[in-house]
A and B are shown apart, each in its own frame.
Chain A
Amino acid sequence: MKISRRRFIGLTGTMVGGALLGKPAKSGAEYKPKTPPDPFGCLVDLTVCVGCRKCEQACNQVNHLPSPRVSFEDPRVFEQRRRPDVGAFTVINRYYGGKRDERNQLHPTFVKVQCMHCQDPGCVSACIVGAMTKKDNGATHYNASKCIGCRYCMVACPFQIPAYEYHDPLFPRVRKCTFCYERISKEGGKPGCAAICPVESITFGKRRQILELARHKIKNDPGRYVDKIYGEHEVGGTSWLYISGDSFEKLGFLDLPTRPIPYLSETIQHGLFNYLWAPLTLFGILGAVVAVINRQQNRSSSESVQEGHQPDQDTQDTAGLQEKPDSSKREEKL
């Protein structure tokens, strides 16, 4: 009897879970990504970048960031891998993909890291007050005056980009690359880093066009590039695109799914909140279960303790499911 009851409860759980999980698949067809119609983008050609860090310097100036601890001319910073933080919205890291030059020296590849300005950003969907928004020109824009400091965006970002001014006790802000929103909103404006790059490793333009350019480059020089445009499909596509001569795994790029981050999280939330029948069903079933159990408890008091916590377990399961998108994101990040 005991076993059959447990099975029953397990089955109920599966049913509820199944109903919830089944929902996204169905509601996915109705899922509306925030992808702007014709955004700007940047193409970083990693085979061209010389690691001069002028982009870091320009970013620093454009955004009025504090002067760096290590000067922009000091190549010793490459000894450590860095992440963008509150003092630097973009950083250059050096990788050795294994290629050697004519003089048998390992050939470095420099990788620029900054907010990718996802087409359909996780941070935007995670932000509960609308401080993060996706603009039509492609910028994922942060509005400090709306921000309540919950830092959900930081958790939601698959690239771990947003940083938080923990040092500021009064008005801490989330900080990340702005895609030079103000500058590119002007006619002919370019992001600071793209404008300064002396070798034009960064090409700025309409995403559509630079994607074409990237394809053209790879097709024209297949020996120079690996056949992949990073950011074309990753998390639903990003405004920043990369082409490279080394495989992207060797250069610290994450292997991410092609589904936008919000696709999962939002549809689940929507599944929960839009389709009210689901919780109703859930609680209905739970109520039925409790009723059955209570009836059984009345019959046999000796079994009551064991049975009593079963419903709890069930709700925990459901809660676990709700959280699942986040935890899966964390895995993807690693």
Chain B
Amino acid sequence: MKVGIKQKKINMMAILMAVLVFSTLAVGFSTNGNSSADATKPAKPPKKSTHPWEARQEAAKLRSAEVVPLIKELLPETPSQRRARLGDKVPQIEDIEFSYFLLNNPILEKEEDLYGPVRFMHKKHAGMLNDCFVCHHHRSADLQAPEITRCSACHQTSFNPEVPERIGLLGAHHRQCMGCHKKWNKGPVGCTGCHPKNVPSHKELVKLTANPSPTDVTKECLRCHDVQGDEMLTSTHWLWKGPSEFTEGSEKRVDMGKATVTINNFLVHLASNWPQCTSCHAGYGWKEADFDFTDKTKIDCLICHDTTNSYKKAPLGAGMPDPDVDLFDVARNVGKPNRKTCGECHFAGGPGEPIKHGKLNPFLDFHSTSCDVHMGGLDLQCHDCHKTRNHKISGRSLALPVAEGSRTCEDCHTPVPHQGKALLNHHLNRHSEHISCTTCHNPVYAKCGPVKTFWDWSTAGDKSRRPKKDEHGNPDYMWETGEQIWQEKIKPVYAWYNGKAKRHVLGDKVNNEGVTILTEPTGDIKDPNSKIYPFKVMGGRQAADAKHNYLLVPHLAGPDGYWETLDWEKTFSLGMDAAKLPYSGQYKWVDTVMYLSLNHEVLPKQFALSCVQCHPSLRTERSCGQCHMDKRGLNFKNLAFSNIDFKFLHTREPDTQKRVQSTDYIDFKQLGYKCDPITFGGRFKQLPLGWHSVSAEKNE
């Protein structure tokens, strides 16, 4: 870990250097920037794409609408007879034409409208089963017909007297899926495990008079959903604190969170800043510390359940809705949360603008895969991954300790995500034991918009300073918050991560010798549970108590807040009062760093890192052939360089130019390896021919 920390220091220094260089450069340039207003660029949809997988959801929708003629006669043969007949022509996973389906055939009569269609990962299932005939269990008696046909070629309407023994498509899907899922004890068997549930229209159900108050709406919701109200009262979206099972040393605590001890290097802390911060709270009127968390009628149901796209909160309103919102209309149109409703807060982290995470932003709501394959290409909603039960939403982050369950890529993609018998897949699957999916599949973050990577509070308050604009048009300075660095298409920082985090919380001592790390992934090259993950590193300069040596809470908004008074002394004394910690009256500026996880913005394989980008040893003429004999007519060079190298990404995102052709993407030494593991062995594995693995060496 020593190496890691050293490296982090180096990183930090690099960032600071960048700040310096950047600000010096910026001085000489245009001077007409006018503070924060420009930073909020209206989100414009990225250009329409034509790439096949990009419109995958659309294509799947079209495919799901096709109805093919019913195959009435089946070839009477047993599976082994079938195999014998086919010989080496037995279909393989490589023969799969479509890896993704939407099961929404019009044959599935929809008299009732309880659930939405299932998204079916065809190739994934094929890879798991490794036998197409498990599902494609019969073929047409007509030997000219293709060997494999879709479900709906044999299973159509139910109770067809012409083929009385054949079950309908609805039954076929359910029996096949549930049968296997039960048998193998894998995959969902409940309805909502596969189907999104449809919410019935609430137009008639909601009994409200025009112009209701926000609490009137909540009371009306509670009339039927009282249980859900109780569920909300114990949720982290309501309490802003909760179980912190992934925080090292605090696994059993339930009191950590934004509401209590979490501190960051953005707007620092909640205490004394309620009306501003809580404008993202799923409740009404958290103006002060003594907000009543047992009052169900204060829950803001609409912020998550609005489907009209018109609901929003007032900026400094302590969670109250914007007065212009037609609550009556919104309440009558409630439904399931979607990217917009979640994004109302989570695409605005930072605050107000999507600058915090790398990168949850409104672009994710547009259908573009070059931002995010899940939300863009496949039109997934947040809760499709962040599975929710009893209003507890799973997912963990590095920025916050609270977690109501976790989600990993493997939950859907399995620990062996690369399907197919090709040699490359085998190697990639071996990689999955040591590196996270996002390491390759999220090679640059902040792809579709800039994020802040550095924030210097110490320089805030100079109203006369003219901000400079960087290459993306973002100001380098705002008097409210100080100097800042914006970046786009950023190469992540890589570190070992075992799912847990170390956290600096309110009242912890700062590091007087160097950088104080506020959140940090735990993990080690020798820990088998650790994998290499990409991170965004956010640098900051913020105030600490010179005597007590802990970070200070500034009181920012409001008439007596910093943005009115520009008086740091008063700001900190009011802030620390609210945070219930003594303030000595003296402050100093300290450097802090936060690691933020990069779980979104995932890209498909066309954008992922290629072998050579991390393994320089494969760039040589002989490439893999240095050790492997090239017997199978494989072109190792092609394999190692296959499709990637950012050229494609570059065609979509011009700013990635600088990444093209870059190799040594991952600094193996910084991660604790002796060098490229291809030549020096993996972390646990000793290579033959006398090369030692790094761990073996460390053990010596």
Is there a chain A Cβ closer than 8 Å to B109's Cβ? yes
Cα distance A58–B111 in the bound complex, in angstroms: 9
| 0 or 1 for each of A90-126: is its CB under 8 Å from B? (1 = yes) | 0000000000001100000000000000000000000
Task: State which of A166-174, A209-217, A235-243, A254-262 sits at the interface with chain B.
Answer: A209-217
Q: Are A102 and B183 in contact (CB under 8 A)?
A: yes
Cross-chain contact of B111 among A48, A195, A199 (Cβ < 8 A): A195
Is there a chain A Cβ closer than 8 Å to B167's Cβ? yes
Cross-chain contact of A200 among B112, B164, B167, B185 (Cβ < 8 A): B167
Is there a chain B Cβ closer than 8 Å to A17's Cβ? no
Is there a chain A Cβ closer than 8 Å to B178's Cβ? yes
Is there a chain B Cβ closer than 8 Å to A190's Cβ? yes
Q: Are B112 and A58 in contact (CB under 8 A)?
A: yes
- Closest approach, in angstroms, between the C-beta of A193 and any C-beta of chain B? 11
Q: Are B111 and A216 in contact (CB under 8 A)?
A: no
- Closest approach, in angstroms, between the C-beta of A152 and any C-beta of chain B? 34
Q: Are A205 and B161 in contact (CB under 8 A)?
A: yes
Contacts of A61 in B (CB 8 A): 112
CB-nearest residue of chain B to A205: B159
| 0 or 1 for each of A47-66: is its CB under 8 Å from B? (1 = yes) | 01010101001100100000
Known contacts: A50-B178, A190-B159. The answer to whether A200 contacts B168 by CB under 8 A is: yes
- Closest approach, in angstroms, between the C-beta of A94 and any C-beta of chain B? 16
Beyond the given A52-B191, A203-B159, A205-B164, please list 5 additional residue pairs across the A-B interface where CB-CB is below 8 A. Answer: A48-B175, A194-B159, A195-B109, A200-B158, A213-B165
| 0 or 1 for each of A27-54: is its CB under 8 Å from B? (1 = yes) | 0000000000000000000001010101
Q: Are A209 and B164 in contact (CB under 8 A)?
A: yes
Cα distance A199–B167 in the bound complex, in angstroms: 9
| 0 or 1 for each of B132-168: is its CB under 8 Å from A? (1 = yes) | 0000000000000000000000000011010011011
Which residues 209-228 of A sit at the B interface, judged by CB distance below 8 A?
Answer: 209-210, 212-213, 216
Cα distance A120–B495 in the bound complex, in angstroms: 77
Cross-chain contact of A204 among B159, B172, B174, B183 (Cβ < 8 A): B159
- Closest approach, in angstroms, between the C-beta of B164 and any C-beta of chain A? 5
Is there a chain A Cβ closer than 8 Å to B337's Cβ? no
Q: Which of A50, A210, A212 has the most CB of B within 10 A?
A: A50
CB-nearest residue of chain B to A216: B165
| 0 or 1 for each of B66-79: is its CB under 8 Å from A? (1 = yes) | 00000000000000
- Closest approach, in angstroms, between the C-beta of B158 and any C-beta of chain A? 6
- Closest approach, in angstroms, between the C-beta of A97 and any C-beta of chain B? 17
CB-nearest residue of chain B to A67: B224
Please give the residue numbers on chain A whose beta carbons come within 8 Å of chain B beta carbons, in ascending order: 48, 50, 52, 54, 57-58, 61, 73, 102-103, 190, 192, 194-200, 203-206, 209-210, 212-213, 216
Which residues 38-92 of B sit at the A interface, judged by CB distance below 8 A?
Answer: none
Instruction: State the main secondary structure of chain B at its contact with A.
Output: loop
Cα distance A212–B161 in the bound complex, in angstroms: 12
CB-nearest residue of chain A to B195: A198
- Show 16 A/B contacts (Cβ-Cβ < 8 Å), sorted by A: A50-B178, A54-B114, A57-B114, A190-B158, A190-B159, A195-B111, A198-B170, A199-B175, A200-B158, A200-B168, A203-B158, A203-B159, A204-B158, A205-B159, A209-B164, A213-B165
CB-nearest residue of chain A to B227: A71
CB-nearest residue of chain A to B155: A200
Q: Are B159 and A197 in contact (CB under 8 A)?
A: no
Contacts of A205 in B (CB 8 A): 159, 161, 164
Cα distance A190–B157 in the bound complex, in angstroms: 11
Contacts of A199 in B (CB 8 A): 171, 174-175, 178
Q: Are A209 and B170 in contact (CB under 8 A)?
A: no
- Closest approach, in angstroms, between the C-beta of A117 and any C-beta of chain B? 16
Q: Are B111 and A196 in contact (CB under 8 A)?
A: yes
Cα distance A199–B158 in the bound complex, in angstroms: 11
Cα distance A200–B156 in the bound complex, in angstroms: 12
Contacts of A213 in B (CB 8 A): 164-165
Cα distance A196–B114 in the bound complex, in angstroms: 10
Cα distance A237–B168 in the bound complex, in angstroms: 27
Cα distance A195–B168 in the bound complex, in angstroms: 10
Contacts of B171 in A (CB 8 A): 197-200
Q: Are B185 and A103 in contact (CB under 8 A)?
A: yes
- Closest approach, in angstroms, between the C-beta of B104 and any C-beta of chain A? 15
Cα distance A196–B110 in the bound complex, in angstroms: 9
CB-nearest residue of chain A to B184: A102
Contacts of A58 in B (CB 8 A): 111-112
CB-nearest residue of chain A to B183: A102
Which residues 394-437 of B sit at the A interface, judged by CB distance below 8 A?
Answer: none
- Closest approach, in angstroms, between the C-beta of A186 and any C-beta of chain B? 13
Known contacts: A199-B171, A200-B170. The answer to whether A209 contacts B185 by CB under 8 A is: no
Contacts of A102 in B (CB 8 A): 183
Cα distance A61–B175 in the bound complex, in angstroms: 24
Q: Are A206 and B167 in contact (CB under 8 A)?
A: no
Cα distance A207–B79 in the bound complex, in angstroms: 33
- Closest approach, in angstroms, between the C-beta of A181 and any C-beta of chain B? 17
| 0 or 1 for each of B222-250: is its CB under 8 Å from A? (1 = yes) | 00000000000000000000000000000
- Closest approach, in angstroms, between the C-beta of A216 and any C-beta of chain B? 7
- Closest approach, in angstroms, between the C-beta of A219 and any C-beta of chain B? 12
CB-nearest residue of chain A to B197: A73
Contacts of A196 in B (CB 8 A): 111-112
Which residues 168-190 of B sit at the A interface, judged by CB distance below 8 A?
Answer: 168, 170-172, 174-175, 178, 183, 185
Cα distance A216–B166 in the bound complex, in angstroms: 12
Q: Are A200 and B161 in contact (CB under 8 A)?
A: no
Q: Which of A48, A103, A199 has the most CB of B within 10 A?
A: A199
Q: Are A212 and B164 in contact (CB under 8 A)?
A: yes
Cα distance A199–B175 in the bound complex, in angstroms: 6
Contacts of A200 in B (CB 8 A): 158, 167-168, 170-172, 174-175
- Closest approach, in angstroms, between the C-beta of A191 and any C-beta of chain B? 10
Cα distance A194–B158 in the bound complex, in angstroms: 9
CB-nearest residue of chain B to A52: B191
Contacts of B159 in A (CB 8 A): 190, 194, 203-205
Q: Are B161 and A206 in contact (CB under 8 A)?
A: yes
Cα distance A52–B112 in the bound complex, in angstroms: 15
Contacts of B164 in A (CB 8 A): 205, 209-210, 212-213
- Closest approach, in angstroms, between the C-beta of A48 and any C-beta of chain B? 7
Contacts of A195 in B (CB 8 A): 109, 111, 158
CB-nearest residue of chain B to A204: B159
Cα distance A57–B185 in the bound complex, in angstroms: 27
A-B pairs, top 9 by smallest CB distance, nearest first, are A200-B171, A198-B174, A200-B167, A199-B174, A204-B159, A205-B159, A199-B175, A213-B164, A199-B171
- Closest approach, in angstroms, between the C-beta of B228 and any C-beta of chain A? 12
Contacts of A194 in B (CB 8 A): 158-159
- Closest approach, in angstroms, between the C-beta of A146 and any C-beta of chain B? 30
Contacts of B109 in A (CB 8 A): 195
CB-nearest residue of chain A to B170: A198
| 0 or 1 for each of B626-639: is its CB under 8 Å from A? (1 = yes) | 00000000000000
Cα distance A209–B166 in the bound complex, in angstroms: 13
Contacts of B112 in A (CB 8 A): 57-58, 61, 196
Contacts of B174 in A (CB 8 A): 198-200
CB-nearest residue of chain A to B109: A195
- Closest approach, in angstroms, between the C-beta of A108 and any C-beta of chain B? 12
- Closest approach, in angstroms, between the C-beta of B293 and any C-beta of chain A? 27
Cα distance A65–B175 in the bound complex, in angstroms: 29
